[in-house]
Amino acid sequence: MATKLPSRYGKETQVEETGAEAKSQMTADDSVHKGEDILAMQDLDPALNAKMHLVNNAIDEIGWTNYHWKLFVLNGFGYAVDSLITLIQSNIAAPAFKEFGSVGYANGQNIASYAGLLVGAIFWGFGADIIGRRWAFNVSLFICSTAAIVAGAAPSWPSLGFFVALVGFGGGGNLVLDTTVFLEYLPGNKQWVLTLMACWWGFGQAITGFICWGFLVPKKWNCDLEGVICPRSSNMGWRYVYFTAGALVFVLSVLRVTIVRLKETPKYQLTEGDDAALVQNLQSLAKRYNRPCSLTLEQLEACGRIQGTHGDSRFSLSEFKVHLSGLFATKKIGLSTTLIWLSWTLIGLAYPLFYVFLSYVHWAPLPLVLSLIIRITARTWRFVV
């Protein structure tokens, strides 16, 4: 028989039950919130929707714990590292370009970095649905740190661009997963904490500034950019920046694997059909912090079997199509996806413009910088008038 399952969003879902016991278990839920979930999948996969509500209610029942504080710091450091490691190329571009004979495109490292970020975000974004959040979360940061260290030893401008792109490849994936992993553990009334991750982004940029200040200012490590000859022995500053930043990120990569042993997220375990591991994960979290958790395996099994979330092969084009189609499963989900993509596209257009010109402003003679500022100010005033 069918029973209406109360959801955390105030909507109801029809769920096929096997008996009165399952009915009483599924309705044992007091976490009902107002509003409408635009990601609800009642018409597409009722079992997945019902199970997702049960898991969300269980996470709400457990509430905020010290484990969430650890995740906030753990993922926050990852967010700061992404900011740190991707900003470096803007600061070292001018001295590196001078050392390699000013051959090529001076802003090529910006292109390499953002190309790597794009590919990394796409690859690890879909990859995390295939190999799991935990593996993608840890491996992407190790790639980022290793590539940064090797970039400091680059023998040419093209090779530097390759490793900068590889840094972006790891950083782009880690950037996606920092917020995803954190969000999938958050109770509903604490999801606003996700916005505080932006504070870590600024923290990472501040660290980049201090590292660059320490190595790009002393004359003993930097060439005179107005000179003709700039040998490597006199221009080690930008390399020390990459060595230091890469080593710092590598240490953080090791610490977040050894100190906070991240378990697979409940949402991923749910979509994989691993209900037993999901229940064990949440029950152990509740037991560790002395919190209630009424979710049982029987409740999840009573919801039925979810539809397949993978293609014929996990490493095939059909797998990619399955996950891509999920972003447009309904009109509301498609609209949400489009708006999110549009907002990030606009950020992607505006954000790099500053860093493209940053190296020019930093290394240009002071009179030229002042003249440029005066011209821009006068032009802006003219447009306003």
Digit-coded pLDDT (tens) for 164-217: 999 999 988 888 888 888 988 999 889 899 889 888 988 998 999 899 999 988
Percent of the chain clearing pLDDT 70 (strictly above):
75
d(CA 113, CA 126): 20
Confidence of residue 134 (pLDDT cuts 50, 70, 90): confident
Residue 306 CB: number of other CB atoms within 10 A?
21
Per-residue b or e along 258-283, where b marks 16 or more CB atoms closer than 10 Å to that residue's CB? eeeebbbbbbbbbbbbebeebbebbb
pLDDT at position 252 is 84
SS3 at position 44 = coil
**Does residue 46 carry a pLDDT above 50?**
yes
Residue 17 CB: number of other CB atoms within 10 A?
18
Could you name the CATH architecture of 66-259? Up-down Bundle (1.20)
Nearest to 279 by CA among 261, 296, 304: 296
* Backbone φ and ψ of 16, nearest 5°: -80, 130
**Does residue 10 carry a pLDDT above 50?**
no
- With beta carbons less than 8 A apart as the criterion, state whether 238 and 215 touch: yes
Residue keyed to tokens 């209610």: 57
17 sits in the region (left: phi over 0; alpha: psi -120 to 50; else beta) called beta
pLDDT at position 245 is 92
Q: Which amino acid is at 176?
A: V
304 sits in the region (left: phi over 0; alpha: psi -120 to 50; else beta) called left
Integer angstrom CA distances of residue 253 from 77, 240, 257, 275:
10, 20, 7, 30
Cite the residue boundaries of each domain of the chain with CATH code 1.20.1250.20.
Answer: 66-259
